Structure 1
Amino acid sequence: MYKRTVSLGIVSLLLLSGCNNQEVIVEAENTLITEEDLYNQLLNNYRPQVEQALRDLTLLHILEQNYDVSSEELQLELENAKEALGSQYEEYLNEYQINEEQFKEQLALQVLQRKAAISTLEATEKDLQDFYTTWTPAINARHILVSDKETAKKVLDELQSGTAFKDLAETYSIDSLTASNGGNLGTISYLERDAFSAEILQAMDELQVNEISQPIESPYGFHIVEITEKEEKKPLDEIKDEITYTYLTSTLTSEQIQQAVLKEIEEASISYKSEAFEDLFLPYFEADNPSQ
């Protein structure tokens, strides 16, 4: 789901060192090591990762000229990513040697690519009206997942006796991504509903805020669900921009994103200051024309 990257610290060091810098940075046993030596060593050892990181950075700057990502949008993307990764979030950052700000850059690039593709699409009034009839506002929910119905009934009894949902989730839930967070599923937008079974979605739609479901069977076991927040469905005219964006996003394909990104690259003014990176975006165009 999230793009894997080499440490941006390594990339920064490589780019700062430069390919023709003879400044000595280390002397060992009468041997001089220059910044150029470091540059070549890093490039030889990490070239695929460096090129991908440099492509991402360049593309980020290209797309930022034409599209915006608000701090609110980016924060929501980050929250959704954290919820998806759960307890593995910190492990993800550590494994790829990035901090949260660098991770947010990855998310920003994904949003910008999506917006570039959406800008090439259109929706008719009928498209929007038909989509609106099936669209549901975002909800916030939490759940406890157990392996059998007997345990689910036991958990439900304890909830009805006043035991905190959070405590029971931490004790009983076998969902490793949410158990340590009190079973919190976070904000579930329309576009994220596909991650849940039809049985869970039906319960979420029918439950009122602070209402707890009966045990719900799914391919993963038995769930007890509570809705903690549910937005009201506003008239289409009041949320037309949101519906349009959500509709176009829901119909978006990876091919459309790829074509939009290629168009942005072709129209951008890119100057390569190092021969080592003259073919930086060649893989994008080769992927678009595999027969060539």
Structure 2
Amino acid sequence: MKKWILSLSLAAGMIVLAACGNGGDDTVVKTNEGNITKEDLYNAMKEKYPQQTQQALQELVYKKVLSEKYKVSDKELNDELQKTKDQLGSQYEAFLAQYGMDEKGFKDYLKLELLEQKAATADIKISDQELKNYYKKWQPEIKVRHILVDDEKTANEIKAQLDKGAKFEDLAKKYSKDIASANNGGDLGWIDYQGRKQFVPEFTKALDTLKVKEISKPIKTEYGYHIIQITDKKKKKPFNEVKDQLKEELKLSKVDQTKMQKKLNEVLKDANVKVEDKDFNGLFSEATSNK
């Protein structure tokens, strides 16, 4: 799964903070006993949720300054949204609800992620030969499901049931301790080539060796024992049809969080970011220092 899932909880705060952006005395709620203004809401957020508000402010500033230098097209944004829908499948609506977001709010967050990616990869060069070598190893998306249990005995019993014709989705719901996927019959959605590497090594190795519809023997990892199945696989397209996509994938594979933050700091410094609210003094000091 993509990295934004780890930090998406900030997005709701970012949206609320953005609504406070005009500040001042704009009224949010009216009562007979007095009104609640945007400034009241803003101050309440700072007081009750200081860390989340700081993080949300950072996201808003990043979006503002990055949008001036880099552009994300509607097609790029819609393609990224569709990838998420493909990954989450029937869990997509529940996913949005979990974070208190609608699709518009989620697209705003995806746009920021794409802007950050464009900034981080802007100076990375990929040669034609490097791209062709990558294509030789590259594999198209696969649709994966699994059942995770604690012990080998249970895993073997489940595998035996599957071999006798039991439904994978039924056993996943009954036995799997990966609750999120168990509720969806063990389905992990569509996984791209780089996404395979996000799993523990034993799981990734199984994905590289399994055929479509084949059910693995129990695979031991640090989380327990997995039974894995690839249910579908997309056709590998000709090089010329996917080379632009692969170039971006390869660029992103060369970016880690340290490099990403370094680039963001450079962009903030170029934008001459200055914090006017004393409660946020030092929030961007690393990015705006003269070091």
- Return the TM-score normalized by structure 2: 0.76
Segment drifting more, 51-60 vs 218-227: 51-60
Which residue of the other structure, out of 67, 71, 74, is the alignment partner of 1:67? 71
Structural mapping, 1:236-255, within 5 Å: 236-255=239-258
Equivalence for 1:276: 277
Residue 226 of structure 1 and its aligned partner are, at CA, apart by: 1.3
1:19 aligns with 2:18: no
Equivalence for 2:44: 42
Residue 246 of structure 1 and its aligned partner are, at CA, apart by: 1.1
User: Structure 2 vs 1, CA of residues 21 and 124 (structure 1 numbering), >3 Å: closer, same or farther?
Assistant: closer
Taking only aligned residues, the RMSD between alpha carbons, in angstroms, comes to: 3.8
Q: How far apart in 1 are the matches of 2:221 and 2:175?
A: 17
Q: How far apart in 2 are the matches of 1:174 and 1:161?
A: 22
Q: Secondary structure at the match of 1:141?
A: strand
Larger radius of gyration: 1
Residue 146 of structure 1 and its aligned partner are, at CA, apart by: 2.1
Q: How far apart in 1 are the matches of 2:106 and 2:146?
A: 27
Residues 200 and 221, structure 2, Cα contact 8 Å, conserved in 1: yes
Q: How far apart in 2 are the matches of 1:206 and 1:180?
A: 26
User: Structure 2 vs 1, CA of residues 61 and 219 (structure 1 numbering), >3 Å: closer, same or farther?
Assistant: same
1:76 aligns with 2:83: yes
User: Structure 2 vs 1, CA of residues 138 and 276 (structure 1 numbering), >3 Å: closer, same or farther?
Assistant: same
- Aligned residue-pair number: 279
Segment drifting more, 44-53 vs 230-239: 44-53
Q: Percent of aligned positions with the same letter in both sequences?
A: 29
Structural mapping, 1:85-164, within 5 Å: 89=95, 92-93=98-99, 97-164=100-167
User: Structure 2 vs 1, CA of residues 215 and 37 (structure 1 numbering), >3 Å: closer, same or farther?
Assistant: closer
- Return the TM-score normalized by structure 1: 0.76
> Which deviations, in whole Å up to 9, do the C-alpha atoms of 1:3-56 show, x marking residues without a partner?
44364564355335x33669995564xxx6674872674365256544543442
User: Structure 2 vs 1, CA of residues 289 and 78 (structure 1 numbering), >3 Å: closer, same or farther?
Assistant: farther
Q: How far apart in 1 are the matches of 2:81 and 2:117?
A: 13
Residue 67 of structure 1 and its aligned partner are, at CA, apart by: 2.1
Unaligned runs of 5+ in 1: none
Q: Secondary structure at the match of 1:212?
A: coil
AA of the residue aligned to 2:231: T
Q: How far apart in 2 are the matches of 1:12 and 1:119?
A: 27
Unaligned runs of 5+ in 2: 1-5
Q: How far apart in 2 are the matches of 1:162 and 1:135?
A: 33
Segment drifting more, 18-27 vs 127-136: 18-27
